[in-house]
Structure 1
Amino acid sequence: MTSTETAADGPAPQRPLPSLADPDTAAFWRATGEHRLTYQEGEDGRVVFFPRRHGGGRVRDSAGLGEVYTYTVVRRHGHPFFRAHAPYVVALVDMDEGFRLMAEVDADPADVHIGQRVRVGWEDHEVGSERLAIPVFTPAG
């Protein structure tokens, strides 16, 4: 069921979304609205994730490819959206550019494994008059 469909007992629960008002993360989330996964590279070449407004350095776009470092299968959750979505996989993904992030892997839990190559995909959302997208990975095979 998509977030716009209606269940028999009312509207489908909505995914909680990040705030576009946070000064440190707003630029990152706005970039996701353009399907860009960004990270920061300091003047010394050090990779910083997530990009911060006070961190200095250049904001760069990731190619969106990485490897599952570790993962878990969420089978029960208290929030209505995630409860209806279970079971689902949450992984720490080592991106090829050198940063690690936590994200969902949209695949059958039995098909996910450590070391698996994954590619970023996007779950689009409207927040007021702005767009953002949640990065959701899929197997890159």
Structure 2
Amino acid sequence: MTTVPRLTITQDNEFWFEAAREGRLLIQRCADCGHLRHPPGPACPQCRSFEWDTVEASRQARLHSWTVLHHPKDDAFTYPLAVGLVDLPEGARLVADIAGVDHDQLHIGMELEVGFAEHAHGETLPQLRLPGTEAR
């Protein structure tokens, strides 16, 4: 039995988790000013509008920064765990774990793609990997 808590899914982010289960990466967009925001939220941080829609991202990504985690350990992941911050061509940023890349091969600006992998309770989360590779 896992001790990892379930993800918190709310009315503000439910669309995102549903799309992830379908293998799609949706980014929330303000319907008034067009600002992209991730993670999803109830109001636009730029103009404070509550109106929004979504943009489907290409899943292409460029590594902006990363870290390799050793502690504290979460039963849902294998350690050491590389976690990256990537720039999406649509203009948003995303944080996700990096799979299938040796940590010493990571470098700022490298091309990655967003895939999806199953989490501890069967939830689906994004996972960064080399373009054209499958999740491990």
Give the TM-score band, short-chain normalised.
0.7 to 0.9
Q: Which residue of 2 aligns with 1:120?
A: 114
Q: How does 1:72-111 map to 2 (within 5 A)?
A: 72-82=67-77, 85-106=78-99, 107-111=101-105
Q: Is the 8 A contact 1:123 1:136 kept in 2?
A: yes
Residue 14 (structure 1) shift:
7.3
Task: Compute the displacement of 1:51 (Å).
Answer: 3.3
Consecutive aligned runs of 4 or more in structure 1 exceeding 6 Å deviation: none
**Do the aligned residues in 1 keep the contact of 2:117 with 2:124 (CA within 8 Å)?**
yes
TM superposition score normalised by structure 1: 0.74
Greater shift, 50-59 or 90-99, is seen at 50-59
Other-structure match for 1:140: 131
* Contact 2:84–2:96, Cα closer than 8 Å, also in 1: yes
Partner of 2:21: 33
Query: 1:88 is matched by which residue type in structure 2?
Result: L
Larger radius of gyration: 1
Confirm or deny: 8 A CA contact 2:4 2:120 kept in the other structure: no
Q: Percent identity?
A: 25
Matched-pair contact (CA < 8 Å) for 1:92–1:102:
yes
Compute the RMSD of aligned alpha carbons: 2.4
| Counterpart Cα distance in 1 of 2:17 and 2:26 | 9
Displacement of 1:79: 2.5
Give the partner amino acid of 2:127: V
Aligned partner of 1:3 in structure 2 is: none
Q: 1:105 to 1:51 in 2, by over 3 A?
A: same
Q: Sort the Cα spacing of 1:17 and 1:95 in 2 relative to 1 into closer, same or farther, 3 A.
A: farther
- Alpha-carbon distance, 1:96 to partner: 0.8
- The answer (yes or no) to whether the contact 1:29–1:133 under 8 Å persists in 2 is yes
The answer (yes or no) to whether the contact 1:66–1:119 under 8 Å persists in 2 is: yes
Q: Report the CA distance between 1:132 and its aligned residue.
A: 4.0
Structure 2: 5+ residue stretches without partners: 44-49
Higher normalized strand content (fraction of residues): 1
